[in-house]
Structure 1
């Protein structure tokens, strides 16, 4: 068994020593079978939340009413341990109104979304697979546990998750599951925009993004995503691009704006409830791209944008096929050769300028700094005190003449 499961195995042992069943479940088991990088490791058990808390010295109650307790094993490691359960009705098509704790592993696995996620593994690595998830993994199939329409009416986000998994895993969606998504797609309206955004970003980062975007359109799910309603053909164009090469959120959203030919950029980005930092960086990418399209990668653009923003904008342009990837080498060279990288690098500060001018602070300082930056960047003067003082004196003479 993978070493990542070692500490979790000790938790299972403790639970078993106290008369309870316990197994690894969910994505970690699926990823183990696929030899993928293992993420969070979850454990399901017949022990109740109270029994879990009684067994382990350090726990965190994150949802005891739904059976989930976090068991803390060290400062670096903790595990979600959840009681076997069945879910009640889903009146909001997203969360169960209530849960019932049970003693059967199979009953617990039966409520899960897809067969590949309904596999359990004991502490010795033995697989328990009542819904043939391992076979579906081998066939690269996404199939719901039980009737697809029931699973989607329980939690409408599962439809978008199916498409996201098809991108991440390069799997195809089984026919009955596909038909159910088409039939029940309107239920996606019940899902919060934050959850849709999370799934959409994961979808865009997957190696199978081409088929996933086509699936998004053919199922009609795209019509229940913000501002995607009339963008089916644009999304198919997006599917032709190596979108997965862009791993930053702001680069992904800048690409979407361009390919979807978005008119009102701010409204579009805000409708997805993105963090302000991401929205601002995406807009900055778009600004840089427009400038580069007009002027190329000139010193001023790279200086104003900074190396990181310049490279991110370039990556978007490379994915669009507007630039060769090797252009990043030139951007690095131009940036590294700049005499200054910010105002802080200029050897004269505001106090020096006031002293040279013999005047009080005013708007002239900002104007002077702006011109001084460009003079340095274009090497019309040198970043050393004597040369800068001479340049400032000349600038002040012209300023006095004009103002």
Structure 2
């Protein structure tokens, strides 16, 4: 295992001060599965104040010091270092009522959600695996540590984490974990919409997203009751679209909403606390789902209404319409790159229209009419030609 020097440097500091230190969590899981590694997290038997004392020469941030987490900046890389801990009883199906620090690595690993997330490695790559996480990785299984039902009852978000891992890693969920997940699905009511949407976005980026959405439909219905009214025809349509789409959360959410035929997709996104920017982009995809794209005029009209990257729209469109001529649509997009498709491209401005004696809301109406006339090749985009065209319109 190739551990970056900015990580081993911190591990060495802790060990030189007499403490244990291990890499744990997603980074190690990804490394063992030969996947790209993102952020490294470390766990140690040093208490929070001891961690800070070890790193007086580094910038530290009390990220969650009450829970034992201190962030240390190592060569501009933020590394979270957390003290071994045991969780106190959970009281709200989401958060422990407190934490108890421990000096035992196994006790820390025992509190984690799934075996694949409880594997640790020291700075030399030596693996510590108390619960069979490596074997589960080999068998591509997601298995809860200890009693699955207790794990999901403690923190309902683990239900969606299991489904996200199943989608992203293309793993299956071990039988007892699967049964417990389904039995405890209603505890998702205790999870905030923001956390649900974050996990859902991750799930929709996974290669196994369609299969997970279908297999665990009853779970998703807890926070998406509209799914209960989706018939089998629309489900098959959605599965087909999701299966052919890229691993893009926005594209796949648009497909999930449009191809399933669920009513009021904008309200669903609002209920899930999607950002206004995400809502605009996803709704723009849905609204332009069936826009004609066969001629330059069609493409200019599309450009005029498009509010997301064209590649994103094209991926969405191809997933919705399998007969889309991708090369032709792309070619039309390139051919119209310099065409007039918005008011800022128009050769006249509001003051030009005002000079014709037009006032109030009609100024904007005239500019819009002129823009569409240009896009439709009814008039050339030149100042005098546009003013002459406007004078000929019945608005005068």
Q: Structure 1-normalised TM-score? A: 0.89
2:152 is matched with which residue? 152
CA apart distance, 1:172: 0.7
1:54 is matched with which residue? 53
2:347 is matched with which residue? 347
1:375 is matched with which residue? 373
Work out whether residues 24 and 43 of structure 1, in 8 Å CA contact, stay in contact via their aligned partners in 2.
Answer: yes
Structure 2: distance between partners of 1:124 and 1:313 = 46
Work out whether residues 301 and 341 of structure 2, in 8 Å CA contact, stay in contact via their aligned partners in 1.
Answer: no
Work out whether residues 289 and 317 of structure 2, in 8 Å CA contact, stay in contact via their aligned partners in 1.
Answer: yes
Work out whether residues 43 and 81 of structure 2, in 8 Å CA contact, stay in contact via their aligned partners in 1.
Answer: yes
CA apart distance, 1:395: 1.9
Q: Which of 214, 223, 226 is the matching residue for 1:225?
A: 223
Work out whether residues 289 and 314 of structure 1, in 8 Å CA contact, stay in contact via their aligned partners in 2.
Answer: no
Worse-superposed segment, 162-171 or 201-210: 201-210
What are the ranges of 5 or more consecutive residues in structure 2 without an aligned counterpart? none
CA apart distance, 1:99: 0.5
Q: How do 1:313-328 residues align onto structure 2 when only pairs under 5 Å count?
A: 313-324=313-324, 325-328=326-329
1:181 is matched with which residue? 181
Q: Which of 336, 359, 362 is the matching residue for 2:360?
A: 362
Worse-superposed segment, 110-119 or 306-315: 306-315
Work out whether residues 288 and 301 of structure 1, in 8 Å CA contact, stay in contact via their aligned partners in 2.
Answer: no
In structure 2, the residue corresponding to 1:86 is in which secondary structure?
strand
Worse-superposed segment, 60-69 or 206-215: 206-215
In structure 1, the residue corresponding to 2:288 is in which secondary structure?
helix
CA apart distance, 1:283: 1.8
How many residues in Structure 1 have an aligned counterpart in Structure 2?
391
Structure 1: distance between partners of 2:332 and 2:347 = 25
Structure 1: distance between partners of 2:266 and 2:255 = 14
Worse-superposed segment, 227-236 or 256-265: 227-236
Structure 1: distance between partners of 2:262 and 2:308 = 25
2:390 is matched with which residue? 395
Work out whether residues 306 and 341 of structure 1, in 8 Å CA contact, stay in contact via their aligned partners in 2.
Answer: no
2:334 is matched with which residue? 333
In terms of fraction of residues, the more helix-rich structure is: 1
Work out whether residues 207 and 247 of structure 2, in 8 Å CA contact, stay in contact via their aligned partners in 1.
Answer: no
Work out whether residues 12 and 22 of structure 1, in 8 Å CA contact, stay in contact via their aligned partners in 2.
Answer: yes
- Residue-by-residue CA offset, 1:306-363 (whole Å, 9 max, x unaligned): 4845543332231124443434423423532x532422223333334444x2x47533
